[in-house]
Amino acid sequence: MKWTELKITTASEAVEAISALMVEMGASGVAIEDALDVQNYVEDAYGELLDKENLNHVKEGAIVKAYFPETIFLPEILPAIKERIAKLPEYGLAIGENKIEMSEVAESDWATAWKKYYHPVNISRYLTIVPNWEEYEAKSADEKIIKLDPGMAFGTGTHPTTMVSLHALEIVLRGGETVLDVGTGSGVLSIASKHFGAKEVHAYDLDEVAVAAAQENMDMNPVAADVKVSANDLLKGIDIQADVIVANILADIILRLIPDAWNLVKPGGKFIVSGIIEDKKAEVLAALTAIGFEVTEVLQQADWFGIILTKPLEGE
């Protein structure tokens, strides 16, 4: 089958908004090349995040490539796409060069091309993410392994915002908790939560592609077989009291989530937010503390921040 590729040269901070727009406009898949991913490359004692040898990567800004099936006539929707992208600066997102190019490609070129860049990632001493197509043996009995095929969903584990979320989960989870994972993407944070001892985990995503990918990843990881994955807009309509709520989403979406998170997290429970850039940190912190959350810890990886918050116990 032939596909149309829409290649958008943009700035790193607009990547998620443009990817979400592409999916909304009917793209079946989105591939991202972000210069920040390479700049923020972390090589640690435990292993390799990215295969630099093989890497022919964008050096500045970012490129979002979206793939539309033949059934969508792109020239018809292109003006609307251009208009929506041109408006992103009004929401505080730079769009860099904003060059938009269209071409035809064969499916096999895009659906699997990115896989060659990803290898096992040692997130911490106790947690390793292994792409489903790679062989890997745990180096110690304590090492927990997450098998992952993100497919077209966000969440290979290598993005700094995911790593910050994983570290925060490792800090707060002690065992026996109920966790809500908002914007689960590939499901990586839910699987990690189960490894860290969570008893009950509910994973939500607005994007049906992510919901399907997350479910497949739960099925691939026996520890997460009982995670309940469903399509949902943030925590709207959810009535589950949680010990921990985790959300790795853009700051503007986190702002919308705060009231429901406050209502659903138990007193003494934690709210972990990630995906926040420096420019948005003060605004998000102000909204979180205004409702009553207390800041427990601020984590940072590269240009991205994550915050662990506590809902005070009643009477405190």
Ligand X SMILES: C[S@@+](CC[C@H](N)C(=O)[O-])C[C@H]1O[C@@H](n2cnc3c(N)ncnc32)[C@H](O)[C@@H]1O
Q: Which residues are annotated as a binding site?
A: 162, 183, 205, 248
Instruction: In angstroms, give the least distance from the CB of 312 to ligand X.
Output: 26
> What is the chain written as a DSSP string?
-EEEEEEEEE-GGGHHHHHHHHHHTT-SEEEEEEHHHHHT---BTTB-SB-STT----SSSEEEEEEEETTS-HHHHHHHHHHHHHTGGGGT---TT-EEEEEEEEHHHHHTGGGGGB--EEEETTEEEEETTS----SSTT-EEEEE--TTSS--S-SHHHHHHHHHHHHH--SS-EEEEES-TTSHHHHHHHHTT-SEEEEEES-HHHHHHHHHHHHH-GGGTT-EEEE-STTTT----EEEEEEE--HHHHHHHHHHHHHHEEEEEEEEEEEEEHHHHHHHHHHHHHHT-EEEEEEEETTEEEEEEEPPPTT-
Instruction: In angstroms, give the least distance from the CB of 251 to ligand X.
Output: 11
Tell me if 30 contacts ligand X by CB under 6 A: no
Task: Show binding-site residues for S-adenosyl-L-methionine.
Answer: 162, 183, 205, 248
Q: By CB under 6 A, name the one of 205, 216, 273, 301 that touches ligand X.
A: 205
Q: Which of positions 235-274 make contact with ligand X (CB under 6 A)?
A: 248-249, 253
Binding to ligand X by CB under 6 A, coded x per residue (else -) over 217-236, reads ----------------xx--
Q: Which of positions 286-305 make contact with ligand X (CB under 6 A)?
A: none
Binding to ligand X by CB under 6 A, coded x per residue (else -) over 134-173, reads -------------------xxx-----xx--x--------
Which window, 85-93, 133-141, 179-187, 289-297, contacts ligand X (CB under 6 A)?
179-187
